[in-house]
Structure 1
Amino acid sequence: MKINFIIKQLQLKETFSIAYGNYDKRQALLVELSYLDSKGYGECVEIDYYHISLQNFVLKLKEIQSAIEAHKIVHPKEFFQFLLSLNLHPFLLSALDCAYWDLFGKLENKSFIELNRLPAEHLTESSITISVDTIDEQIRKIEESLWNKFKVKCKGLDKNNVEKLLLSDRNIALDSNASFTDEDCIWLQENAGIQKFLYLEQPRPIDQYRILRKDRFANWMADEDCQNIESLDELIPYYKSINIKLMKCGGLTPALQMIRKAKELGYKIMVGCMTESSVGISAGCVLTGLTDYADLDGANLISNDYATGNFVENGKIILSGKPGLGIDLK
């Protein structure tokens, strides 16, 4: 097996504004694993508020390259145990895990769906993100969109804006990126009208969720508070829903375990994304037969997608049906 890796730049179609800041581009690390004539691909991105350094990841890959290339082809779950022994950051772990699933499926001539016997008939529809902006501009974008579900970013709580969004009678979720106060959260979860929102994502900074009550009207969804499977038990009294992102939890292998446990604990589940190319989005798409929500618009928000594979068209998940994760570079 051979490994190659390169840092690429993802250019956003328009400035992406969230409570953490404004972004016009993202750096992505593309990982390629190859064996014989088959190539598998994985990806992770540089996110400042996660303190990610792709240069550090490149140094780590150079350090472990010989160990990876010496490894024989085994089942991906066995390869994942090997990856765990390398003490990798979850973002880098995810890129390698996804690349290996893509490669293994191509070698076996079976899709990830087939290899894991996953449902693929009724795939959850994805939302598209509406950046922080004036409420009138956000509503204009919603009304002009061909998508059916929307994740509206906000920076702090404006009750008048909330009322306007509720009156729009569209399928809307709120994502404050941890910018709500305790008082905001109390007002939201005690307001019966808030049930119209699909969910309210990561209202408070990490580990400041104890003001939340899952038995009230708000469908609170954990994002940064839910990093891995170990988070699930602790969050039960506070969150009804969780956002599983492959980069956060370490890839497709742990995501499958996390989904299984989350279902047992009664959570609603979303598969989410960062700003990603079709390499990352193709991996997320294969899980949408298992989830209640999807937020996989990352590749739709960039202007220089360098891959093809599974994709999202006006919210509908389209699986390529190709082996592995179906990823090819353009």
Structure 2
Amino acid sequence: MTLSVSASMERWPVKGAFIISRGAKMHVDVIICHVGDGTHSGTGEATPIYYEGETAESCIADIETFARTHDHFDRQILLDEMQRGAARNALDCALWDLECQQQGQPLWRQAALPEPRPLTSAFTISLGDPAKMEADARAASGIHSMLKLKLSGSNDHERVAAVHRGAPDARLIVDANESWNDLDIAEEATLLAQWGVELIEQPVSAGRDDLLAHVRSPIPFCADESCHTAADVPRLAPYYQAVNIKLDKAGGLTEAILIADAADKAGLKLMVGCMLSTSLAIRPAFALAQRATWVDLDGPLLLAKDRPDAMRFAGGQVMLDHMPKN
């Protein structure tokens, strides 16, 4: 179909600072893409993957180039002919939204996903010294039942112990952010198990996943930076027990569903996560997250403000503002 396409950037300030092993972020630049057929209009949001060299400017240029060189396209053409990443995610999600408007259907039904229900979402505790992380965990503990800790590969067990002191009843998952290459991985995992950690994201660098071969861990490993598309899943299955699907990494909901199908086939569990983003980007991820064991869709909570038509976060859960009634 012939479509009109436009893309722009929005800057959203972070609440305080978002700190991981790669550095701190004070704001996030997101891409907004609009796709129209002359009657209906769809909108998608994506966050450039900075650690892969993407910028808002480069993503907008990629969207404009694709639109200029394709008079007619749909989601399959987009999947086949545009490189994965945030630009494709913005376009893909805008196309899904357009289809929903055209068909008068909610996204979950249009994408053949489960009917949405409220989901428990992790809340991120930024990387810091143990005392700061303990204080942050204590402040979050009355609101969030699951916490996700950012780790660095240095004294990680002290950070996890501190968070457990601050929030002894919270479920814990950790994100090592590729920092355990030179550590005794089994020993690190065993140390964290005593505090009930449920999942360890990306303990080693992407591309060095074979470091996990023969590691006996009491905690499952989840591929994040190593898993981008469905084609990655068979290669990762010997080393991981779960994959983290982020729409920006996958390049859209279309590819993300294919990853979920491939993970199911390989016997891997699913986590659905997000980059820093507003609720506009969370809506399609929330639809997919209905299939996940772990959900990490707290991106809007880490911003100083969200959009007026925001997702609803209450009692440690994320939900649509108006949930469907059976």
TM-score (norm: length of structure 2): 0.88
User: Do 2:160 and 2:195's aligned partners in 1 also have CA atoms closer than 8 Å?
Assistant: no
Q: Sort the Cα spacing of 1:214 and 1:226 in 2 relative to 1 into closer, same or farther, 3 A.
A: farther
One-letter code aligned to 1:11: P
User: Do 1:195 and 1:217's aligned partners in 2 also have CA atoms closer than 8 Å?
Assistant: no
What SS class does the counterpart of residue 211 from structure 2 fall into?
Answer: coil
1:45 matched to 2:40? The reply is no
The within-5 A match list for 1:271-310 is: 271-306=272-307, 308-310=309-311
Q: Sort the Cα spacing of 1:3 and 1:198 in 2 relative to 1 into closer, same or farther, 3 A.
A: same
User: Do 2:186 and 2:215's aligned partners in 1 also have CA atoms closer than 8 Å?
Assistant: no
- Residue 107 (structure 1) aligns with: 102
TM-fit CA distance, 1:192: 8.1
One-letter code aligned to 2:263: A
What SS class does the counterpart of residue 245 from structure 2 fall into?
Answer: strand
One-letter code aligned to 1:92: A
Q: Sort the Cα spacing of 1:103 and 1:311 in 2 relative to 1 into closer, same or farther, 3 A.
A: farther
- Residue 86 (structure 1) aligns with: 81
What SS class does the counterpart of residue 159 from structure 2 fall into?
Answer: helix
User: Do 1:127 and 1:150's aligned partners in 2 also have CA atoms closer than 8 Å?
Assistant: yes
What SS class does the counterpart of residue 54 from structure 2 fall into?
Answer: coil
TM-fit CA distance, 1:248: 0.8
Deviations 1:166-213 (A, max 9, x none): 553421111121122442412124458358212111112211222325
Between the two proteins, what is the percent identity of the paired residues? 25
Task: State how many pairs are aligned.
Answer: 316
Give unpaired runs (5+ residues) of structure 1.
73-78, 324-330
User: Do 2:149 and 2:160's aligned partners in 1 also have CA atoms closer than 8 Å?
Assistant: no
Q: Sort the Cα spacing of 1:195 and 1:140 in 2 relative to 1 into closer, same or farther, 3 A.
A: closer
1:62 matched to 2:59? The reply is no
Moved more, 56-65 or 269-278: 56-65
TM-score (norm: length of structure 1): 0.87
Q: Sort the Cα spacing of 1:284 and 1:234 in 2 relative to 1 into closer, same or farther, 3 A.
A: same
Tell me the distance in 1 between the aligned counterparts of 2:282 and 2:197.
25
TM-fit CA distance, 1:269: 0.5
The within-5 A match list for 1:255-266 is: 255-266=256-267
Q: Sort the Cα spacing of 1:180 and 1:307 in 2 relative to 1 into closer, same or farther, 3 A.
A: farther
- Residue 152 (structure 2) aligns with: 155
TM-fit CA distance, 1:130: 0.6
One-letter code aligned to 1:207: G
- Residue 29 (structure 1) aligns with: 31
Deviations 1:247-299 (A, max 9, x none): 11111111111111201211110111001111211111111211101111111
Deviations 1:61-84 (A, max 9, x none): 33233455x437xxxxxx222113
Task: Give the root-mean-square deviation of aligned CA atoms.
Answer: 2.4
What SS class does the counterpart of residue 144 from structure 1 fall into?
Answer: helix
1:144 matched to 2:117? The reply is no
What SS class does the counterpart of residue 216 from structure 1 fall into?
Answer: coil
- Residue 198 (structure 2) aligns with: 198
User: Do 1:281 and 1:311's aligned partners in 2 also have CA atoms closer than 8 Å?
Assistant: no
What SS class does the counterpart of residue 120 from structure 2 fall into?
Answer: coil
List, as ranges, runs of 4+ consecutive aligned residues in structure 1 with deviation greater than 6 Å.
none
- Residue 135 (structure 1) aligns with: 130
Give unpaired runs (5+ residues) of structure 2.
none
What SS class does the counterpart of residue 61 from structure 2 fall into?
Answer: helix
Tell me the distance in 2 between the aligned counterparts of 1:197 and 1:234.
25
The within-5 A match list for 1:139-288 is: 139-145=134-140, 146-158=143-155, 159-166=157-164, 168-191=168-191, 193-194=193-194, 196-212=196-212, 213=214, 216-288=217-289
